[in-house]
Amino acid sequence: MRKNDAPVYYGDYLKLDQLLSSQLPKSDEHGAHAHDEMLFIIVHQVYELWFKQILHEMQSVVEVFGKKYVDEKDVGVAVLRLTRVTEIQKLLVDQLRVMETMTPLDFLEFRDFLFPASGFQSVQFRLIENIMGMKPEQRLLYNKQAYYQNVTPDHQEIIKSSEKQASLFQVMERWLERTPFLDFGGFNFWEHYRSAVNKMLKSDRDIITGNPLTSKEEKKKQLLELAANEESFAAVIDKTKHNDVVSKGKRQLSHKALQAALLIQLYRDEPILHLPFRLLTALMDVDEMFTMWRYRHAQMVHRMIGTKIGTGGSTGYNYLKATVEKYRVFGDLFNLSTFLIPRSTLPDLPAEVRKSLGFAYAQQR
């Protein structure tokens, strides 16, 4: 790398004159100075800077996994970058604590000057949701309109265009579908898995029916729950049943991708599957942290404005609260825990298969 001949000045490199002169309180424009508006502006500007970094990291991961072949070392890079995203997300949550040093009365001093601006108009956050893999039909209506209607026409085009681009969910699904270890060369893992699951479910049934301390009504209820659990397991093993569950909107991952993800979870201790396991974990961490941020943000809004209408015209707290669970992308990965079985009941892998899942080292003499 060639060294820059011209000296670099700290303030010029970071564009500090431009950055630090970008806080222009609306209350000052109206001759009604509100001290806490500066905090409000800076917190939201910092959010947008972190959103930019999150997009930067996510776009690089999508680019890597969008290729036909993903090098193993790139999987490690993706894990690192997604871990960086989760660390940024922790800062996003913590920033709400800084915001909450502003009291509701302090906020009311300048709130009316902000209409109809709203955090809902954050284009970058909409892009983050889309690059994660959120589907348009998954979204709640905002003021009875599509989520992108409250931004400028230029920004609408940017957001709508992002819906058509590859997402983390899509590239990860295709990567899972290419997992080579679904076929163990003659060893039918899924038959062994089905057998182990059936034994586990039979044991559960025997425990329920043989419990002398449980009433008939309670046993009936528990058996119904067990039957639903049996159907869930059947939909993992049987492709037709899985596709039926997907058509009802209860799952998103393809059957092959779901099976690959489950295999990675079950055999994550095998060296070659540990890094893919960390990748799936990182995806869940990112999804979970956004859920946590949405919840904390909703609570902060409730604390600041109660049940008033938001500055952008939404139902404020109630709208934000409704997005907490609905706006999940990698729910299928979280639900994999339903289909895990104890290590002691996992099918034993043949020696050749176990060898292929390990790391081999040979020294020539």
Question: What pLDDT score does 120 carry?
Answer: 87
Owning domain of residue 138: 10-179+250-333
Q: Model confidence at 109, in pLDDT bands (50, 70, 90)?
A: very high
Question: What pLDDT score does 89 carry?
Answer: 98
Task: Return the residue matching tokens 């009802």.
Answer: 248
Question: What pLDDT score does 309 carry?
Answer: 64
Instruction: Give the mean pLDDT of the chain.
Output: 89
Q: Which residues pair with 142 in a beta bridge?
A: 145
Question: What pLDDT score does 365 carry?
Answer: 36
Report d(CA 216, CA 18) in Å as an integer.
73
Q: Is residue 208 situated within a structural domain?
A: no
Q: Which residues pair with 187 in a beta bridge?
A: 184
Q: Is residue 218 situated within a structural domain?
A: no
Task: Check whether 362 has a pLDDT greater than 50.
Answer: no
Q: What is the mean pLDDT of residues 329-345?
A: 91
Amino acid sitting at position 11: G
**How far is Cα of residue 199 from the mean position of the Cα atoms in its chain?**
34
Task: Check whether 110 has a pLDDT greater than 60.
Answer: yes
Report d(CA 245, CA 359) in Å as an integer.
38
Question: What pLDDT score does 363 carry?
Answer: 42
Amino acid sitting at position 299: Q
Q: Model confidence at 351, in pLDDT bands (50, 70, 90)?
A: confident
Assign residue 47 the CATH number of its domain: 1.20.58.480
Does residue 116 have a cis peptide bond before it, meaning omega lies within 30 degrees of 0?
Answer: yes
Q: Is residue 259 situated within a structural domain?
A: yes
Amino acid sitting at position 312: G
Percent of residues, the chain, with pLDDT higher than 90: 64
Q: What is the mean pLDDT of residues 228-241?
A: 90
Q: Is residue 282 situated within a structural domain?
A: yes
Question: What pLDDT score does 215 carry?
Answer: 92
The three-class DSSP label of residue 39 is helix
Candidate ranges 28-32, 227-231, 246-250; pick with highest mean pLDDT: 28-32
Q: What is the mean pLDDT of residues 333-351?
A: 85
Question: What pLDDT score does 43 carry?
Answer: 97
> Rounded to 5 degrees, what are φ and ψ at 41?
-65, -50
Task: Check whether 197 has a pLDDT greater than 70.
Answer: yes
Q: Is residue 209 situated within a structural domain?
A: no
User: What is the Cα Rg of the chain in Å?
Assistant: 26
Question: What pLDDT score does 311 carry?
Answer: 54
DSSP secondary structure letter of residue 53: H
Are 334 and 284 in contact by the 8 Å Cβ rule? The answer is yes
Q: Which residues pair with 145 in a beta bridge?
A: 142
DSSP string, 111-132: GGGGTT--GGG-HHHHHHHHHH
> Rounded to 5 degrees, what are φ and ψ at 187?
-90, 110
Among candidate residues 128, 169, 164, the one with its CA nearest the CA of residue 332: 169
Q: Model confidence at 193, in pLDDT bands (50, 70, 90)?
A: confident
Q: Is residue 239 situated within a structural domain?
A: no
Q: What is the mean pLDDT of residues 86-99?
A: 96
Residue count of the chain: 365
Task: Check whether 60 has a pLDDT greater than 50.
Answer: yes
Q: What is the mean pLDDT of residues 81-96?
A: 97
Number of domains the chain contains:
1
pLDDT tens digits, 203-215? 999 999 999 998 9
Task: Check whether 269 has a pLDDT greater than 80.
Answer: yes
Task: Check whether 313 has a pLDDT greater than 60.
Answer: no
**How far is Cα of residue 33 from the mean position of the Cα atoms in its chain?**
40
Taking the model in full, what pTM does it have? Answer: 0.89
Q: Is residue 14 situated within a structural domain?
A: yes
DSSP string, 276-341: HHHHHHHHHHHHHHHHHHHHHHHHHHHHHHTTPPPTTSS-THHHHHHHHHHT-S-HHHHHGGGG--
User: CB neighbours (10 Å) of residue 136?
Assistant: 11
Q: Is residue 318 situated within a structural domain?
A: yes
Category of 31 on φ-ψ map: left (φ > 0), alpha (ψ -120 to 50) or beta: left
User: CB neighbours (10 Å) of residue 288?
Assistant: 15
Question: What pLDDT score does 305 carry?
Answer: 86
